[in-house]
Structure 1
Amino acid sequence: MRTSKRLQILDAAVTVVERDGVTALTFESVATASGLTKGGLLYHFASKDELVLALHQHLAGMWESDLVAALGVPVEEATADQRLAAYAKVSIRGATGPELLMMLEASTNPVLLQPWREVIARWVPDPSTIDVDDVDAVTRILAWLAADGLWLSESVGGRHLTPELRIVLAERIGDMLGP
């Protein structure tokens, strides 16, 4: 199947961010990386803001695809604990450079943060609903934070964890959730 032009543009934008950083993301740099004209980009994205939002949606969607693949059962049949365990499994890979850069950019912009928040909302518990006296609920929050810590340690950490240790840690996080 042929890659759509829109997907080709988004993949080129990922390449630009990976190679040169978020500030280098312009219609010109993406046109060059995609092999399309600036007009071709404008056909799919009316503004740079639209392109940047679409890139956040694209990366968040790719992350969610990884989560679905790690789940092992259809999403609609999965329990909250199974989704959280899949989240921990995916966390062992850490963030790609473009994911990390885009997430950092989104951290101060509610519109750009929304695609990431939507994915997180489907895979981890909502801390605002947690009863601090419910040991199981608190354990779920702890598992989520441990998975995020594992993800972040690979992304920016100064101490390298072996792949074997990362797998064992993700399994232990999943074990926190019970059978």
Structure 2
Amino acid sequence: MLFPCTRGRKSSREKILDAAAELVAEIGAGRLTLDAVAEKAGLSKGGLLYNFPTKEALLQGMIQRMIEQVTSEKEALRETVEPGPNLEARVVTKTLLNICCGGKMQEFATGMMAATAENPGLLDPVRQVISNTLDQLKANSDDLDAALLGWLATEGLSNLEMHNLSPFTDEDRDRIVKAIDRVVVKGIAE
């Protein structure tokens, strides 16, 4: 399951989103059907259609849940990060690095990339999150150049990893992550 539910019993909506995420990871968003999602979720097609009347609505729901998961991770991390320079950049970069790597996230990202190629508008909520992140970094950075550079490097690394394109060894990755941390915390020497 890509996004586990932390409460007790899952709602039909959560079951549908879990089933859809598993199917997207297995077969891709382009081959995803509402019938297959309903079957995998153990619900009637009517139950699925009540929650998501179209495939596009289902894909939008999946993207929205991914955004909510990232936001939740970011806020949980914010409570544990030590105060100091470029706090927002440190929280953003750490969250991306924690979420992006491996397994289901890679499969999900690859599957969703196919869906958004057909309908780029599905990424509008993601574009808004990125814009908001930039605004937060601009408003809350002690060294904006360092914050932006760290964020951009993290986005690049996480995208390479999510799409299983990274040429870096584990040692390379560790070096890069440490360099990002140094830049974000210590700033850029001019």
Q: TM-score, normalised by structure 2?
A: 0.73
Question: How big is the shift at 1:171?
Answer: 3.8
Structure 2 residue 89 is matched with structure 1 residue 89: no
2:9 is matched with which residue?
2
2:153 is matched with which residue?
146
RMSD: 3.1
Distance verdict in 2 for CA 1:72–1:150, change over 3 Å? farther
Question: How big is the shift at 1:168?
Answer: 4.8
Identity %: 29
Aligned partner (choices 41, 46, 49) of residue 34 of structure 1: 41
Aligned pair count reads 170
Query: Is the 8 Å Cα contact of residues 84 and 174 (structure 1) preserved in structure 2?
Result: no
Mapped to 1, the partners of 2:53 and 2:122 lie a distance apart of: 17
Letter in 2 for 1:99: A
Deviations 1:122-176 (A, max 9, x none): 434579x79xxxx9323322111110122123233252431x6535533431331
Structure 2 residue 140 is matched with structure 1 residue 114: no
Question: How big is the shift at 1:48?
Answer: 1.8
Structure 2 residue 59 is matched with structure 1 residue 52: yes
Letter in 2 for 1:101: G
Which of 90-99 and 34-43 deviates more?
Answer: 90-99
Mapped to 1, the partners of 2:134 and 2:94 lie a distance apart of: 13
Mapped to 1, the partners of 2:78 and 2:178 lie a distance apart of: 13
Question: How big is the shift at 1:39?
Answer: 0.7
Question: How big is the shift at 1:40?
Answer: 0.7
Mapped to 2, the partners of 1:45 and 1:55 lie a distance apart of: 11
Query: Is the 8 Å Cα contact of residues 60 and 122 (structure 2) preserved in structure 1?
Result: yes
Gapped regions of structure 2 (runs ≥ 5): 1-7
Question: How big is the shift at 1:37?
Answer: 1.0
Distance verdict in 2 for CA 1:125–1:165, change over 3 Å? farther
Distance verdict in 2 for CA 1:166–1:101, change over 3 Å? same
